[in-house]
Amino acid sequence: MHIPFLPSEFVLARPEWLLALLLLPLLAIWRSKHGRTPAVKFSGASLLSGLGSPARSTWGSFFFGLVLASMACAILALARPQRQISFDEEKTEGIAIMLAVDVSLSMRIQDFYISGIPVNRLTAAKRVMQDFIAGRANDRIGIAAFAGAPYIPCPLTLDHDWLQTNIERVQTGVMEDGTAIGSGLAAAARRLDDQKVPSKVIILLTDGANNSGKLSPQDAARLAVTLGIKIYTIAIGTPGVHMIPLEDGRIITSGRQEFDEKTLREVADLGSGQFYMAQDLGALAKIFKTIDELEKVEIKRKTYIEISELYHWPTAFAVALLLLSMLLHQTILRTAPTPAST
């Protein structure tokens, strides 16, 4: 039972004892019917004829009030006031996720929009990846980029602030051009191999077909499966002929944009994952949200309650008030008969 007018952590373990407080006003009423305590008691009134009129103690009510207050504190002590501090402990075993991102020149095609402004595919991908990373606080996440060959701009880490800051290291033009999907998958799988976690995941994002590297995407997927890795694949971009703006200001044509959907589906099937197609920012964000929900980890929560007994405080007050009443009754509250007038 919560104690009114106090913070929620203060409770009573035996609140039924508070019912005894109802007896205190009854005692006060009963005493008031008998008047205040007489100063001196005699067996017969004739003995007082020469002493004067008997006096009632003017401090009797104060003395009795101390006794009642002592009883109230004793009852409160029996109700066992406590301070309970509860806290939850969450234990999670995060998973390890490698984002395998295509950084070939075609990822510079500007067929995505952010707030109505055209952006290239890589910029859109990094925007959605940042939101995804922010929502996976307990997971180790890294990025493997690939064009004609793979490289690791962001190793697996739990330091997501560092990861968010360094995601700009994922750029086109770092490696020779091409789309080595198999090599990108293999590089991501190698990074996940030594991770001791319940689940390992690769999210592959590409806008083209495998045309570089010595390892096919299917063989790379089979290798990843032997390491206990699940694979999701995402084809990003719109089909057709696009213009590719280069850093030096030149513009080249992409040729007709095609997606190797068959290969990406096979890779996802081999990796017990799923294949997705994203042709706009909303679809890409929805895909990452779906993967986020599919790869939830179990959170084990325990609630601990720390109890501090407080009954000794009202007990101390009860004893102090009782001793004070007894001391006063034997000293300044002692009374004598009122002398007879002469």
* Residue 193 belongs to some domain of the structure: yes
H or E segment and range at residue 208: none
Determine the length of the chain. Answer: 342
48, 336, 339 from 52: Cα distances, Å: 6, 11, 5
Count other C-beta atoms under 10 Å from residue 129's C-beta: 22
- The tokens for 312 are 């000794």
Phi and psi dihedrals of 116, rounded to 5? 80, 0
Counting Cβ atoms within 10 Å, is residue 234 exposed (0-12), middle (13-18) or buried (19+)?
buried
Residues 290 and 181 in one domain: yes
Q: Tens digit of pLDDT for each residue in 295-313?
A: 876 656 666 677 788 778 8
Count other C-beta atoms under 10 Å from residue 292's C-beta: 14
Are 88 and 301 contacting, i.e. CB atoms less than 8 angstroms apart? yes
Residues 145 and 209 in one domain: yes
Using the structure block, give the residue that is written with the tokens 């697996």. 156
Are 74 and 314 contacting, i.e. CB atoms less than 8 angstroms apart? yes
* Structural domain count, the chain: 2
Strand partners, 275: 233
Residues 185 and 38 in one domain: no
Q: Name the stretches of the chain with pLDDT < 70.
A: 1-9, 31-61, 63, 86-93, 255, 257, 297-304, 329-330, 332-342
| Residue whose C-alpha is closest to residue 130's, from 120, 141, 146, 121 | 141
Residues 266 and 319 in one domain: no
First to last CA, the chain: 64
**What range does the domain containing 277 cover?**
94-297
Predicted local confidence at residue 103, as pLDDT? 94
Predicted local confidence at residue 4, as pLDDT? 63
* Residue 111 belongs to some domain of the structure: yes
Residues 259 and 316 in one domain: no
Residues 235 and 146 in one domain: yes
Strands 140-146 and 299-309, by their bridges, are unpaired
- The tokens for 79 are 């109700």
Residues 192 and 116 in one domain: yes
Predicted local confidence at residue 43, as pLDDT? 55
* Residue 99 belongs to some domain of the structure: yes
* Residue 303 belongs to some domain of the structure: no
Residue 97 CA to residue 99 CA, distance in Å, equals 7
* Residue 184 belongs to some domain of the structure: yes
Residues 218 and 121 in one domain: yes
Residues 289 and 189 in one domain: yes
Predicted local confidence at residue 182, as pLDDT? 95
* Residue 2 belongs to some domain of the structure: no
Are 322 and 26 contacting, i.e. CB atoms less than 8 angstroms apart? no
Residues 114 and 246 in one domain: yes
Residues 140 and 66 in one domain: no
Residues 183 and 242 in one domain: yes
* Residue 3 belongs to some domain of the structure: no
Predicted local confidence at residue 295, as pLDDT? 84
Phi and psi dihedrals of 269, rounded to 5? -65, -45
* Residue 339 belongs to some domain of the structure: no
| Residue whose C-alpha is closest to residue 77's, from 308, 318, 307, 306 | 318
Where residue 178 sits, what CATH number does that domain have?
Answer: 3.40.50.410
Predicted local confidence at residue 339, as pLDDT? 54
